[in-house]
Amino acid sequence: MKMMLNIYCGCFAMRGMQDWEGDEMKKLYFGSNLKMYKTIRETAEYLGELAKRTKDIDRNEMELFIIPSYTSLAEAAKTVEPHLVKLGAQNMCWEEKGQFTGEISPLMLKELGIELVMVGHSERRHVFHESDEEENRKVRCVLEQGMKALLCIGETAKEKEYSTSAETLRTQLKVGLYKVSEKWIPDIRIAYEPVWSIGVNGTPASAGYAQRMHRMIKQTLIEVFGEAGGKIPVLYGGSVNLQNAEELIVQPDIDGLFVGRAAWDAEPFDRLIRRAMCAHRGRSC
């Protein structure tokens, strides 16, 4: 079964590696958004510990990124080597400078060596009422500034109830990626995070449901960019934990896991990553 899944995966997300039996393997992505948690010191300690615990894992096989608070970014950048843990920002303004009180410019992030910017997290969309058009301006700015964009999309419980999840996700993708040239494909990542699955009151999506949505997301990316769109990594997020990480990561169209609460201590996050990688490779660990 696993072998069939891996062969199937190759159609969408080939990253040019082979497993021990010579089959093509895709690179996996693991990341966490620290939201409005952890002080500067706590973030630095967490990152130091995470880098130490995971440094033996081949970064050609997986990419690890952490998205701390703005105030921790400078210290975080001094703490970890970028090839071990890539650092991201939780949000960004679409302008380089100007009268945008309270906003952070792409130039300010680049000054710190930040490589990735998250755009459109569910809390930005639903607590701060950001629109798809705003997310699109941000995505385009991130890419034009030479950073990678992690565009988060996800349907609400009501949209799922009305069976309009596909419409919502397709709109978020098509508007969010409007006028994004296909030359930026290597710099785009998508996080599928159903709003109803996120946070303390969230219920994790079943692996089957997540796979169906990921398949549809990949098809939409191919519609937007042509065949090459299928290479964009699509991560699942929303109540991922040590119990469900394996069944999610073995789904053919899930390229990685975007983890909240279960990643905020280095030791269990390291265990989750290893467990998921072993499951994906079909090894017992």
Of the ranges 18-26, 48-56, 166-174, 192-200, which one interacts with ligand PEP (CB under 6 A)? 192-200
Task: Determine if 259 is a binding residue for ligand PEP (CB under 6 A).
Answer: yes
Burial class (CB in 10 A: 0-12, 13-18, 19+), 30: buried
Number of helical (H) and strand (E) elements in the chain, helices listed first:
11, 10
Judged by CB under 6 A, the chain residues 31 through 50 that form the site for ligand PEP are 33
| Contact window for ligand PEP (CB under 6 A) among 58-66, 160-168, 244-252, 256-264 | 256-264
Q: What angle do CA 154, 158, 161 make, to 5 degrees?
A: 100
Of 94-102, 133-141, 175-183, 233-241, which segment contacts ligand PEP by CB under 6 A? 233-241
Cβ neighbours of 262 (radius 10 Å): 19
* Candidates 63, 135, 193, 214; catalytic one: 193
Interface with ligand PEP (CB under 6 A), residue total 13
Q: Which of 176, 194, 233, 237 binds ligand PEP (CB under 6 A)?
A: 237
- Paired with 87 in beta bridges are 66
Return the residue of 261, 271, 274, 275 that touches ligand PEP, per CB under 6 A.
Answer: 261
Residue 199 interacts with ligand PEP (CB under 6 A): yes or no: yes
Residue 258: phi and psi, rounded to 5, are: -110, 110
Spatial distance between the Cα atoms of 256 and 280, rounded to a whole number of angstroms: 10
Binding flag, residue 202, ligand PEP (CB under 6 A) = yes
Q: Is 120 in the site for ligand PEP (CB under 6 A)?
A: no
CA dihedral 142, 144, 148, 151 (to 10 degrees): 50
By C-alpha distance, which of 235, 249, 243, 244 is closest to 277? 249
C-beta closer to ligand PEP: residue 94 or 196 = 196
Please say if 214 is a catalytic residue: no
Residues that bind ligand PEP (CB under 6 A): 33, 193, 198-199, 202, 237-240, 258-261
State the catalytic residues. Answer: 121, 193
